Chains A and B, each alone.
Chain A
Amino acid sequence: MEKIAYRPESLRDVPFTYCPGCMHGVAHRLIAEAIDEQGLINLMTGVAPVGCSVFAYKFFNFDMAQAAHGRAPAVATGMKRARPDMHVFTYQGDGDLAAIGTAEIVHAANRGEQMSVFFVNNAIYGMTGGQMAPTTLPDMKTTTSPYGRDTDDIGFPIRVCELLDTLVAPYYIERVSLLSTPDIIKAKRAVSKAIQYNKEGRGFTFVEFVSTCPTNWGLDPVQSREWARENMLPFFKLGLFRDKGEGAE
């Protein structure tokens, strides 16, 4: 009998630390499959953030670093400059990348650092228990916006792809979602492209995943995906922002 479903070699056989219904495992798998497909496992390294995916350094099957909150793109810069023969990615959530690490992501992108950044946007801080994120939607309730995000007081959510798309250097920027099987298949194509460009040394590649947080949203996994489709996608529009490899700028 042929085995058609198996763990990618780039993922270690260790228990993940994510809640039931969380999409981090799916995102990890897409990245690991793409690394396997590009034959990069021996030359790959990555940086885990602070947040729910803080333990990602345990999950990938090659050397990994764990960075201070928001600093992953700076750490990855140091790694790539020290080991130009290796390929590096960062894996970051919305609080890590779009709040405390805003300077690091903008400047790594602006330098066109040779790295792939995978950004998981679920509009909330998961690990610390559901606080307001820089991508929390207007009027959305969190533990630190208990009356709903007041945009007059705290501003609107940050659209990171659009922000980075104002810079000259980035090579590839795309926003995808993990909200349905067809969306996940599309997301896989984006991840593969980012890893392929990374392998070819084309420059800075960025993939944003619109995702969910059933635990802190207080919804079950299916309701979470429906909620995200209805509420997140109108604000965080899916699509390709830039692909210099295909002449799309």
Chain B
Amino acid sequence: MKDLKHIHYYEQLLEQTANELILKEKEAGGVAVGYTCYYVPEVLLNCGNAFSIRLRAPNTGSLDISQYYMSSFICGYTRALFERVFEGGMNFLDFYASSDTCQQMVRVVENIRELELINNPRFGWGIIDAPLKISPHGNRLYTEQVRDHILKPLAENYGVDISDEAVRAAVREHNEICKIFEEISEMRKEDNPRITPREFHILCLVSYSCPNAQILPYLRETLEDLRAREADANNRWRARVVVVGSELDDYDFDEIMENARCYVAADRYCFGSIPGRQQIPLTDDEPALDQVCRYYLETNQCPRFMSHEKIQQRRDLVRDLVRDYRADGLVIEQAKFCDFWGYERTLNTQVMQEEYGIPTLGIDREYVVRGSGQLATRMQAFVESLEIKKIQKGGGADE
């Protein structure tokens, strides 16, 4: 297939935590708001002249400094972020919006605060407490926390417009990006998809790690590219899977999948598109902030939600994705040392296989996936098993 026009540019952008589009937006007066987690409503960080950056630490090498400040049993993502902060790679940040929903991730901002690591006189931070079940008083808490710890500081200290109209404008812009992703996502349902898993992940990542206003024109062009694109004549994919799991911002993971000729039809992981790249519906009869917060709580797929209905929702969503994206199987990936996904992976690898009848592979991986031979081997073996199942069911194996 012909390369997408901007794919190499996207790859370049993703090589830096502080990429050129971030710096450009800052020069234009933008307020850079970093965050790491779906518990922090991304769309609200794009009100007024603020712009959201979901933080990554590309090209992470040694983690010596973070190893000293944090133990070696802390998840790689957290340590990589901290290492990047220490190296000065996040001095562009004006505000760090965090949530006390993952005890590891929240410690990054607490370490930053104690050690005064961000060399930016404007730097501020906010930490929200969020419920782990849905209830009217939980919605209220969440909305108040977001307003008091994120929006108000942005307004008071950076002059960001957080009015109802500003929120609605941010939602409109967000929805425009999501509309692009919804259309591209549909392409993944094709028999011979015209977009590869790696490309899709790259698109997702740039949409999270670059200012909306700066990346939107590129994404529009990419959509045009894809509309016109024709898939390769030969369908090289041996199996289709849904990938579910924890934070995954290394698109080398998709390369490993592709090398095994395994198509990632749907991505239900943090930094993926589900949830995160679906349009947010708003009505006029209620403040936009309340609606947005409720939306983020209801669509949140973090295993931290421990009520029965949320546990069931997570499993049913995965089942629906497997059905809708015509997947042959499921891969549940977990970042090493992630407590939430450690348990979720352990349990759901069995539940999805035995109770939902979906062939499932559970894996754990480092933050940096590149060169993981073990992962490649396991994926190969899984793909082969999926092929065998297809043959047994009466379908043919793909050449």
- Are A and B genuine complex partners? no
Show the binding face of A for B, using Cβ within 8 Å: none
